[in-house]
Amino acid sequence: MTDVRYAKKTWPEIQGYVARDAVVIVPTAAMEEHGPHLPVDTDIVLGAEVATRAAQAAKQPTLVMPTLWVGWETHHMDFPGTIDMPWNAIIHYGLHVTRSLVHHGFRRIVILNSHGSNRPLIEVIARQTVIDAPHTHCVALSWWELQDAQRAFNAVRESAVTSHACELETSGYLAIDPDRVRMDLAARDMDGAASTHFWSDLMGQRPDPTFKNSVKYMEIWSAFSNTGVRGDPTKATAEKGKAVLDAAAAELAEIIDELARRPIREGRDHH
């Protein structure tokens, strides 16, 4: 397979990718607890896997940056192993990366996130990148938001909630590096406080069909989880993980090629 790692290229090779109007994927993640059964690099591993597979499958030349592995983590700090970075530092960090890419001539950037609390931050980074450089496209999304990934996993899932160190994330890690997963320590840990507008699910499935749209909220994690888990990792399998990762990578490859075809239109000052 083609080596799509930005970090493994020389500067003349990178300049060659610029000349081909390559897309650059910037993965964002976190170093955080994922229960007693998953490593603290879970978000890093899952996001990088989706990004790499998609870059290799896309028709457009694509490079994958090293993952920006620090995340906004204050709500997880009750659990050892988690590394927290202030939200504004993450935005500045991400913007310096995208501005550097734009400075070198890249015009099409995808910020691919794999940590829930980074979601509002990556949108700010993407929007500000375009404001700073109107001759660019910079888009942001989290890998689990991809509809084909949701469709693939929801067809085989056995748990009511996918959230954190759950059936989804554990299945993904099992598909990538099963020797690192301690399934003997996996245990169900579910938040029972879900209600009509207070619920969340990575795969977009309502825990109750009568529930309506979910408000954006985040409680301190240890307030509702004893183990750091939210969900049921005991239902995880490598087969489920492969299905969702394959679907996510395939749809992200489509987005890359769609972004490559999209014209870049600059605004006009009407003063």
Least confident range of 180-194, 226-240, 246-260: 180-194
Least confident range of 15-24, 167-176, 215-224: 215-224
pLDDT of residue 106: 98
- Mean residue pLDDT across the chain: 97
| Residue 255 clears pLDDT 80, i.e. is over it | yes
* Cα(72)–Cα(43) distance, integer angstroms: 13
Q: 39 by DSSP, 3-state: which?
A: coil
pLDDT in tens, 123-151: 999 999 999 999 999 999 999 999 999 99
Bin 204: left if φ > 0, else alpha if -120 < ψ < 50, else beta: left
* Cα(245)–Cα(222) distance, integer angstroms: 29
The pTM of the full predicted model, rounded to 2 decimals, is: 0.97
| Residue 192 clears pLDDT 90, i.e. is over it | no
Q: Let me know if 64 is exposed, middle or buried by CB neighbors in 10 A (0-12, 13-18, 19+).
A: buried
pLDDT of residue 159: 96
> Could you tell me the CA-to-CA distances from 61 to 143, 256, 267 in Å, in that order?
20, 9, 27
Mean pLDDT of 233-258: 98
CB distance 47 to 110 below 8 Å: no
| Residue 1 clears pLDDT 90, i.e. is over it | no
Residue 117: CA count within 13 A, CB half-sphere: 23
pLDDT of residue 74: 95
Look at residues 169, 178, 180 and name the one whose alpha carbon lies nearest to residue 232: 169
Percent of the chain with pLDDT over 70: 100
pLDDT of residue 91: 98
Look at residues 19, 45, 49, 21 and name the one whose alpha carbon lies nearest to residue 31: 45
pLDDT of residue 191: 75
pLDDT of residue 193: 85
CATH class of domain segment(s) 6-261: alpha beta
Q: 33 by DSSP, 3-state: which?
A: coil
Percent helix, strand, coil in the chain, to 5, is 45, 15, 40
pLDDT of residue 251: 98
Using pLDDT thresholds of 50, 70 and 90, give the confidence band for residue 266: confident
CB distance 207 to 201 below 8 Å: yes
pLDDT in tens, 44-69: 999 999 999 999 999 999 999 999 99
